[in-house]
Structure 1
Amino acid sequence: MDVFQLANYLERSLLPLRVLCYTQNDLLSVKPLRSDPSECVRHYFPNRLPDPSCTLSEEQKILIRPKLPELPRRILFIRTAPGSIDYRSFIRDTWKTQVDPYAPVVFVSAVGTNSGTLKAEAEQFGDILQFDFADSYHNLSLKMMAIYGFVLNEMPSVHDIIVTNDDTIVNATALAELLLTRKTDSWMLGKVTRGYPRLFMPWLPWHVPGDMYSQLCYPRFIQGSSFILSRKAARVLLDNICKTPFVQLDDILMGIIASCTRLKLLNHDGFDKHTASNFVVYHYQYYRHTPQQLRQVWSSIPHLH
């Protein structure tokens, strides 16, 4: 059992803390803890202030741009590392061509040791968006804000932003049906998690120290492997990211901002599914599938190919 398998096992074994978190009614509510956003933020962070040197909301330099159709209404962004060419190849060989007619698929990366492959892929496929900062796990929030900034500044026709990871399978038919549902205002749609405790073991990948976030439990948040959000929601997140003390887990940070800004979190059971049935986005939660394992899962779902 590797560290991620063990971490996931322990994460799902924290039943007493989960039960305790389900008694925290304020954190379970869909309503803001305080009517004033700044007071709400202070409730979550009684001993911290926003970082005055925060640059997460700034426009990021783009090194590689994707080739996109004119006036797309939605784009599906896949977060990927520079060296993850095998995952990108799997997606190009399988579900990307099915999703492209509904939402052009773009791989989003930053700078890493294997960035040279991205340039060659971009020339061949035209589906790469690369930003000029270090690609790392703790820069996920920066990557997300860079994506939102790209859409808000350069893609005025885009209404819906779809985000997923490169170790997923997207059901194009289910996604297309979901996108037919008209929604307004600021919203995010995905797998909403409630009653989730802060993980205090420092060796866990999802550990958040008490001096970063002192509460025992998190507010409602959407699990970060896949979700959809509106253009207005992207604006809300970008406008408030530097008004909130930083938390290194991007989905938790987005959940805190959503809690304080009336950004609607909409649950859909088809996201982050770890069984290959009735899913919008398949994602194996307990460890990262290899590209070969993903191909096997894809081959086992006849109606998708």
Structure 2
Amino acid sequence: MARGVVTYFLLGYSREHQEQLQKESSLHKDIIQKGFTDSYYNLTLKVLMGLEWVDRFCPSTSFVMKTDSDMFVNVDYLAELLLGMNRTNIFTGFVMRNLGPVRDISSKWFISEQEYPQEKYPSFCSGTGYVLSADVANRVWNISGIIPYFKLEDVYIGLCLAELKIAPVEIHSEEKFHNWKVTFSVCEFRKLITSHGVNPSELLSYWKALGEAAGDLKKEE
């Protein structure tokens, strides 16, 4: 894994699992948690909790990535690409443009006209995985106090960034963030950043295959 990269898990409160979570936190010290219910529509609270934590405890960091638990993230390749970019004013991921609210009440992403009357959202990055430079993360956290709460977390971050007049940027001329499941191959996964819908056993097998391939390359050199 790239040097200087740390992973934290953002969680709300779970009465059923709280004792187990506290033991896990004491052991690994990698859980950030607050007292709100851990639910899909509280993802915005969860992400803001993470941004607040970064603002308070990681002032020297360069970039912050938010990703979901069912994602493969090639951290080494991501770090390689980020090192070739400016370290300020960056917001990148799988960019969503010209999307509007889903008005179908049966949808998981249903938004009423009372919640959001406009026809289009500002550009945002899919919540499956996006990256903010530290200065942008700090500015989003600071402005979140005046941006009305919105239950779709990735759209909410887009609303904050629109207010800040910060537009998403592409990290590469080819799409590297995938908010869908990419069929695994060593060659493909060496040069992508994210793949969606990956379960824990698949993650282990993918990393094992990538590690073995890297070892074989070193032997050939």
Counterpart mapping for 1:50-129 below 5 A: 98-99=1-2, 101-112=3-14, 113-129=16-32
Percent of aligned pairs sharing the same letter: 24
Structure 2 distance, partners of 1:172, 1:241, is 28
Structure 2 distance, partners of 1:304, 1:233, is 34
Task: Provide closer, same or farther for how the CA distance between residues 304 and 141 of structure 1 changes in structure 2, counting only shifts above 3 A.
Answer: farther
What SS does the corresponding residue of 1:242 show, helix, strand or coil? coil
Task: Provide closer, same or farther for how the CA distance between residues 188 and 114 of structure 1 changes in structure 2, counting only shifts above 3 A.
Answer: same
Question: How far has the Cα of 1:184 moved from its partner?
Answer: 4.2
Q: In the comparison of the two structures, how many residue pairs are matched?
A: 203
Question: How far has the Cα of 1:243 moved from its partner?
Answer: 2.0
Contact 1:298/1:304 (CA < 8 Å) preserved in 2?
A: no
Q: Who is 1:56 aligned against? A: none
Q: Who is 1:210 aligned against? A: 113
2:50 is aligned, of 136, 139, 147, to: 147
Q: Structure 2: which amino acid aligns with 1:246? A: Y
Q: Who is 2:219 aligned against? A: none
Structure 1 distance, partners of 2:214, 2:125, is 26
Question: How far has the Cα of 1:212 moved from its partner?
Answer: 0.6
Q: Who is 1:179 aligned against? A: 82
Q: Who is 1:271 aligned against? A: 177
What SS does the corresponding residue of 2:161 show, helix, strand or coil? helix
What SS does the corresponding residue of 1:225 show, helix, strand or coil? strand
Contact 1:186/1:236 (CA < 8 Å) preserved in 2?
A: no
Counterpart mapping for 1:1-305 below 5 A: 98-99=1-2, 101-112=3-14, 113-268=16-171, 269-273=175-179, 274-275=181-182, 276=184, 277=188, 278-284=191-197, 289-295=198-204, 297-298=206-207, 303=213
Q: Structure 1: which amino acid aligns with 2:178? A: D
Higher normalized contact order (CA 8 Å, seq sep 6+, divided by chain length):
1
After TM superposition, the runs of 4+ consecutive aligned structure 1 residues lying more than 6 A away are: none
Q: Structure 1: which amino acid aligns with 2:11? A: S
The TM-score, its normalising length taken from structure 1, stands at 0.60
What SS does the corresponding residue of 2:168 show, helix, strand or coil? strand
The Cα offsets for residues 162-195 of structure 1, whole Å up to 9 and x where unpaired, read as: 2111111111331221231241433211111112
Q: Structure 2: which amino acid aligns with 1:148? A: L
Structure 1 distance, partners of 2:214, 2:114, is 46
Structure 1 distance, partners of 2:214, 2:75, is 8
Q: Structure 2: which amino acid aligns with 1:103? A: V
Task: Provide closer, same or farther for how the CA distance between residues 187 and 264 of structure 1 changes in structure 2, counting only shifts above 3 A.
Answer: farther
Contact 2:44/2:150 (CA < 8 Å) preserved in 1?
A: no
Structure 2 distance, partners of 1:163, 1:131, is 17
What SS does the corresponding residue of 1:183 show, helix, strand or coil? coil
Unpaired segments ≥5 residues, structure 1? 1-97
Structure 2 distance, partners of 1:151, 1:176, is 18
Superposition RMSD on alpha carbons, in Å? 2.2
Unpaired segments ≥5 residues, structure 2? 216-221
What SS does the corresponding residue of 1:173 show, helix, strand or coil? helix
Contact 2:63/2:87 (CA < 8 Å) preserved in 1?
A: no
The Cα offsets for residues 131-184 of structure 1, whole Å up to 9 and x where unpaired, read as: 232211111111111111111112221121121111111113312212312414
